[in-house]
Amino acid sequence: MERTSNLRNKIDNTTVLDIRTFVSEYDKETDTLIIQPETPIPAVSVDWDGDFWVRVNPASGEILGIVIEDYKAFFAKKYHLILRGHGVTDPIIKDLIIALVASVPKPFAKKDFVANLKKVSQRVLT
C-alpha cells in the first residue's frame, strides 16, 4: 500500500459523503477496519493526523476508502465517548470519519512528526 502525506491538500472533499456508501470490513487478527467501495479501487494512503489513512485517487483527489489500523487498540479508545456501545461496522463510525475528514486539515510539519514519534516511543517503551 503506497502512503503519502503530500496529497492531503489535494483531497476532493466533495467526495467525503461517498464514505457512507462504502462497505466496512474488520480484520480482527490485525485490528484493522477497512471502509471502501464494494469493489476495491487502487489508491494511495494519506495520513490523517495519525488516526487513520484516507485512500485517495492521486489524479483526481477522490476519496476511495478509509483504513484504520489498531482500531480497537487506538482509534476506539481515542473516540470512546462517541463510539461507546457501537459495533465495529456501525454507521456512526462512518459519520465520525466523515466529520473528521471534512474538518479543516492540519498542515504536516517536521515538529509534529518529531512530537508524534516521541509519543509513540514512550508508548512502546512503557
Nearest partner of 15 among 67, 66, 61, 58, judged by Cα: 61
pLDDT at 92: 84
Q: Return the amino acid letter for 64.
A: L
Domain of 105, in residue numbers: 3-125
Query: Dihedral sign, CA of 11, 13, 14, 16?
Result: positive
Q: For residue range 86-117, list pLDDT tens digits in order.
A: 777 778 888 888 888 887 555 555 556 556 55
Whether residue 125 is predicted with pLDDT greater than 60 in this model: the reply is: no
Write out the three cell numbers for 91.
454507521
Give dist(CA 85, CA 21) in Å, integer: 22
pLDDT (tens digit per residue) in 2-22: 555 567 888 898 999 999 999
Q: What is the pLDDT of residues 52-62, one digit of tens each?
A: 999 999 999 99
Alpha-carbon torsion, ordered 93, 23, 89, 117, to 10 deg: -60
Domains identified in the chain, total number: 1
